[in-house]
Amino acid sequence: MNKLDSISPLEVTRRFWDVIVVGAGPAGAMAACELARRSLRVLLVDKSAFPRAKVCGCCLNGQALALLQARGLGSTISNLGAVPLRHLLLAAGGRQAILSLPAGLALSREVLDMSLANAAVEKGVVFLPNTNATLDAPIPSGRQVILRSNGHEVLAKASVVLAADGLSGSFSAYSFQETRFRGRDSCRVAGAERSEAPALDDMRGQRRLSPGHPVPKNGPAGASPSRNGYLPVVSSDSRIGAAVVVERGPAFYQSETIYMACGTGGYVGLVRLEDGRLNIAAALDSQALRAIGHAGCLAAKILHQAGLPPVPDILQGAWKGTPRLTRHASLLAAERLFVLGDAASFVEPFTGEGIAWALQSAIAVAPLTARAVHDWKPNLEKEWTATFHRQVERRQIICRLTAGLLRWPRLTTMLVRLLAFLPSLSSPVIRQLSARTQLRSGKFGTCRKELGQVESLPPPLLGTGIPQ
């Protein structure tokens, strides 16, 4: 059920908001929920109409489930028909290894994001979908955000702004230039945005990722950070994300299992969603994609190299994608502005870690944001940078190392052969990826406690058929 009762942009301008959150994905929606719990006036803005699909593996790992349950959203997710994830089938060079997962769910982003946005609205958040946001100049007591929707342009004001607009969002990527170069070099900012966002908006049979955006060459995507120090820092070997959903797919691909095929051009993950559709998400090498000319063709090639059955509809589907995946924002905070979620830092995920990182950053930023609303101090910028590094970036290290390993096909095949005989060797890594961090929040503070695996998770998820 869609509970989003949006208001008109004109009505938005009459209020001075405590917080404006830009981006209604898992990070933005969860941050809005957390701030509304603190009785703050929150405006949540997203450029898309909801519900909407996203390029994503559509998996939530144990940490993500634990974080949702700790915030009272566990039963909400379990009631959406999410598919339990019990196994990871890893394939490379014609070899397969089946590994056990301690916890996990598969759920489409249309349903997940809609549910989190609904939860935010129920807490008192005002949601404004189908609205583009641009950061404007600071004012003495806050920040201004330009909102554009249905031909209208208005100015909203807030004490603090959160940028949670994801990998390809221009708000977080260019907010620092907009602030520091305003009135001096506006053409430079616009040109940088065009070169930095080679999204795979429609790759059906095309050699380009989208009209006007060729496949990025080696090296950092788009404008170099050395030329514009406020663009995201992109890893030189970062892969490009791409995804498509097919209605059926071969019967080989069963529910409750993540299938991961590794090849010379990247890797492809497949999982059954709550409605039986097959979600296919890939991390593709830009050189290989440029050479073959179509994301579906490259994904089919990787499946063949790994020895997994082909998906007949993989070439007919409308592939969507992202800019390069592995990146980090040059700055995580500025005056009355915090960056979180994928907009802050992202590494190629494997079993649902990406959503966990987004939720973790949202919960971590909430107490800091509440303090900033009541008493902004410049040192809060450094405090958020340190907090994000401690609570999110450290958890990305294993995925960063794993992504590096998968760039060596022969070594990957050898590892799969080894795991086929000794699957228990993967247990420490999988346990660490699913290890949960419970955050217990006071009014303006957060207490952090490591609780290990999610297998000890209390009800309400227990007894619903969802693995813990």
Q: Tell if the pTM clears 0.85, that is, is over it.
A: no
Q: Is 323 exposed, middle or buried (0-12, 13-18, 19+ CB in 10 A)?
A: buried
Query: Within a 13 Å sphere around the CA of 192, how many CA atoms are in the beta-carbon half?
Result: 25
Answer whether residue 228 is part of any domain: yes
Name every residue whose Cβ is closer than 8 Å to that of residue 422 and which is 6 or more positions away in sequence: none
Q: Tokens for 379, please give them.
A: 């040192």
Answer whether residue 244 is part of any domain: no
Q: Which of 372, 299, 343 is nearest to 143 (CA)?
A: 372
pLDDT value for 434: 62
SS (H, E, C) 113-178: HHHHHHHHHHCCCEEECCCEEEEEEEECCEEEEEEEECCEEEEEEEEEEEECCCCCCHHHHHHHHH
SS3 47: coil
pLDDT value for 215: 42
Helices (H) and strands (E) in the chain, counts: 14, 23
Q: Tokens for 371, please give them.
A: 């303090």
- Inter-residue contact 417 to 425 (CB < 8 Å): no
Peptide bond into 51 cis (omega under 30): yes
- Alpha-carbon distance of 354 to 419, in angstroms, equals 24
Domain that holds residue 73: 9-237+325-456
Peptide bond into 250 cis (omega under 30): no
pLDDT value for 167: 83
Beta pairing partners, 320: 243
- Inter-residue contact 206 to 299 (CB < 8 Å): no
pLDDT value for 230: 61
In the DSSP assignment, the letter for residue 458 is P
Residuewise pLDDT in 10s, the chain (468 residues):
444 455 766 778 889 999 999 999 999 999 999 999 999 999 999 999 888 888 888 999 988 999 999 998 888 888 899 999 999 999 999 999 998 888 899 999 999 999 999 999 999 999 999 999 999 888 888 999 999 888 888 899 999 999 999 887 677 555 555 444 343 332 222 222 222 333 343 333 333 333 333 443 433 333 334 344 466 788 777 888 999 999 988 999 999 999 999 999 999 999 999 999 999 999 999 899 999 989 999 999 999 999 999 999 898 888 998 888 888 888 899 999 999 998 898 888 877 888 999 999 999 999 999 999 999 999 999 999 999 999 888 878 877 787 777 778 888 888 888 877 777 666 666 666 666 554 444 333 333 333 333 333 333 222 222 222
- Alpha-carbon distance of 412 to 90, in angstroms, equals 10
Name every residue whose Cβ is closer than 8 Å to that of residue 266 and which is 6 or more positions away in sequence: 239, 282, 283, 284, 285, 288, 298, 302
- Inter-residue contact 258 to 271 (CB < 8 Å): yes
- Inter-residue contact 308 to 92 (CB < 8 Å): no
pLDDT value for 185: 31
- Inter-residue contact 287 to 240 (CB < 8 Å): no
- Inter-residue contact 273 to 279 (CB < 8 Å): yes
| Cα→Cα distances 145→74, 121, 133, 161, Å | 33, 21, 6, 8
Residue ranges in 149-294 assigned as alpha helix (H): 170-180, 186-196, 286-292
- Alpha-carbon distance of 159 to 134, in angstroms, equals 16
Unique residue bearing structure tokens 């419970």: 438
Answer whether residue 396 is part of any domain: yes
- Alpha-carbon distance of 63 to 155, in angstroms, equals 38
SS3 310: coil
Q: How many domains does the chain have?
A: 1
Name every residue whose Cβ is closer than 8 Å to that of residue 229 and which is 6 or more positions away in sequence: 330
Measured N-to-C along each axis, helices 379-391 and 353-374 cross at an angle, to the nearest 10 degrees, of 160
Please give the biggest Cα pair distance in the chain. Answer: 65
**Beta strands 142-149 and 132-139, pairing class:** antiparallel
- Inter-residue contact 107 to 272 (CB < 8 Å): no
- Alpha-carbon distance of 368 to 17, in angstroms, equals 16
Q: Which amino acid is at 149?
A: S
CATH number at residue 329: 3.50.50.60
Q: Tokens for 457, please give them.
A: 């998770």
pLDDT value for 186: 27
pLDDT value for 355: 92
Answer whether residue 361 is part of any domain: yes
In the DSSP assignment, the letter for residue 455 is G
